[in-house]
Structure 1
């Protein structure tokens, strides 16, 4: 089988959609090596270099010209003899020729509709048009969670039977053995405390970092934050200064995937009280790392966390503080939740995801 992918996010994005794209191609190439996988994009980058070393994965430069991704990429895939085109980030090309090809699109979330205040008017309109068009054109839609499936039905008016749920996995670094020497070197490099709680993700209002900071105010619990700063960071910084918390909260940048995996292992608790997620990959990363999770009780977060993670109302700082303190002071409870969480993480193993995807590709 020949399968073509829109490679834009694979090559251009360092996290989020980029990680999803690279992991999906990697696991398919590993578990179904007899297929051919084409990554279409204007150019390639250093990202995903290891995946391109697979003999069955090929970079294909797309036709040049304005709007080539929308107007030419689909036809390029058809001319390669691809039987399937998979748009990995909510979009598929607008133009095709008469050659048969099955069109599949992954939709990650519709947060721009649920939380319009986080997006400009233009971005909301553009996202909606692209996602709606892709949903109409696609033969089948992959949603990354049951929550996203519900949103697609509700907001894009797509029949439920056209949507399949396939959960995301995470980078292999979180599933591999980490040598104690590397853990020690990472701890030293970033001057990490002996014990700390961890938050990972872009520092933006939806991720709700401010409530974590408020929750640890008045305690001696160190917080380590790994994520890209946005203008929302100024609000965090203002609170830290006012409440003399600067020495308690550590912000890390330029962290490699291997170092991030080590930081998860070193953390006592992973705290992720986001207001909304299409899925929540950091939760999966934490479960694979053997770190207990406290997260929001809304959207897709309970799907990712399973029944043995701890859940809070993201708006309730007192609830969040109480649960952080409970786990922080209770080693046996942390270990119990780690054990149960690791069992739940098996739902997101590479092989299960690869087989679910291949079943969808072979359908009809």
Structure 2
């Protein structure tokens, strides 16, 4: 004879109405947090056919990357100024659809919202002391906006999700929020990041050389661009054969040239290629063609590019700081990002020592397999249903 608690049964089987704020997933030139939200939503669509989802976005050119399904409705809000979009238009929409749970995916959220809310706090860099001022107005505004908004939002959260154990500890240290409120959900790795045969058909669109060194930079000081260029110049100066050129994504030519001039490195200008933004579907070919990927950041909460490069069979030189050792693993090439001589030395070692190079390729391919968006989506679904 089975005795069933009808209240418990009702609670377990109740279909949830879940709103996911994914404001930037339709923009053309997506970056880290945009891809995290997009890939997670795609996997949730495959995984969860029971709960009802409302994916809330802003309008954008790339609106065909995800489609509605029976239980996934996409709602776009047309509001050009992001603070108004988040603090006025989003709460008004939420008042209309009345979700059981709101998940804000990119650090911030509506301050005045008082219903059940989860926030993915990717990092608390904006609450830490800045190593250098932001070089773009857009980044500076975003930094101040988050610094002002996030402390208020966190007070209203039922749960805080972050992307590494390192960052979970930093959130606790910086905000004083109890660790029990903070949950780590690792980012995943998209399946199209695999070793590509004949990658030069795509990499040739960005750099004429078949062999090159790759660096993903931007104007954020944490990307350590100045020291990367110093390290590359040091490698060039000691190269016994023709040095490999350096391909830099996401940085304009004039910014790179100004850094080179400031550091008296103008002699390497002709070896540095700066095509600007490289689309996500082209990146696997770039990683596959590159001999080495440089990622010696000063501060990262996760570091998806580390795994992308590893999955494409290209060794990564990254930092032994913040979350990078946690994600790259103990057998990765972990260096002091302040020491450009060490970075240059690792470049030389990889290019000279074939056994060392092969061991790092093999290690990276194995390490990348530990991360998937399916696992990320499963963890999120579990969190949603536990609330």
Same fold (TM over 0.5): yes
The question of whether the paired residues in 2 share the 8 Å contact of 1:202 and 1:230 is answered with no
Q: Which one is further off, 214-223 or 227-236?
A: 227-236
Corresponding position: 1:104 with 2:121 = no
Q: Which one is further off, 132-141 or 198-207?
A: 198-207
What pairs with 1:3-82 in structure 2 (closer than 5 Å)? 3-12=18-27, 14-41=30-57, 43-62=58-77, 67=84, 69-74=86-91, 76-77=93-94, 79-82=96-99
- Counterpart of 2:5 in structure 1 is none
Corresponding position: 1:304 with 2:327 = yes
- Counterpart of 2:363 in structure 1 is 340
- Assess, with a 3 A threshold, how the Cα gap between structure 1 residues 199 and 55 changes in structure 2: closer, same or farther: farther
The question of whether the paired residues in 1 share the 8 Å contact of 2:251 and 2:277 is answered with no
- Counterpart of 1:197 in structure 2 is 213
- Counterpart of 1:245 in structure 2 is 268
- Assess, with a 3 A threshold, how the Cα gap between structure 1 residues 199 and 8 changes in structure 2: closer, same or farther: same
Distance 1:198 1:85 in 2: 38
What pairs with 1:260-271 in structure 2 (closer than 5 Å)? 260-271=283-294
- Given candidates 109, 129, 135, the residue that maps to 2:148 is 129
Distance 2:275 2:193 in 1: 18
Offset of 1:93 from its aligned partner?
A: 1.8
* TM-score w.r.t. length of structure 2: 0.83
| Residue ranges of structure 2 left out of the alignment (5+ in a row) | 1-15
Matched length? 357
SS for the counterpart of 1:318 is helix
Offset of 1:198 from its aligned partner?
A: 1.0
Corresponding position: 1:323 with 2:342 = no
Distance 2:245 2:253 in 1: 22
| Residue ranges of structure 1 left out of the alignment (5+ in a row) | none
Offset of 1:361 from its aligned partner?
A: 1.2
The question of whether the paired residues in 1 share the 8 Å contact of 2:47 and 2:377 is answered with yes
* TM-score w.r.t. length of structure 1: 0.88
- Given candidates 133, 150, 153, the residue that maps to 2:172 is 153
Distance 2:161 2:275 in 1: 34
SS for the counterpart of 2:65 is helix
Distance 2:76 2:316 in 1: 42
The question of whether the paired residues in 2 share the 8 Å contact of 1:74 and 1:85 is answered with no
Distance 2:343 2:106 in 1: 33
Offset of 1:194 from its aligned partner?
A: 2.5
- Assess, with a 3 A threshold, how the Cα gap between structure 1 residues 355 and 256 changes in structure 2: closer, same or farther: same
Distance 2:228 2:79 in 1: 47
Offset of 1:124 from its aligned partner?
A: 5.2
The question of whether the paired residues in 2 share the 8 Å contact of 1:186 and 1:259 is answered with yes
- Assess, with a 3 A threshold, how the Cα gap between structure 1 residues 113 and 330 changes in structure 2: closer, same or farther: same
Offset of 1:80 from its aligned partner?
A: 2.5
Distance 1:274 1:321 in 2: 15
The question of whether the paired residues in 1 share the 8 Å contact of 2:200 and 2:210 is answered with no
Corresponding position: 1:206 with 2:222 = yes
Q: Give per-residue Cα distances to partners, 1:96-121, cap 9 Å, x unaligned.
A: 47xxx531001111222334233598
- Assess, with a 3 A threshold, how the Cα gap between structure 1 residues 33 and 50 changes in structure 2: closer, same or farther: farther
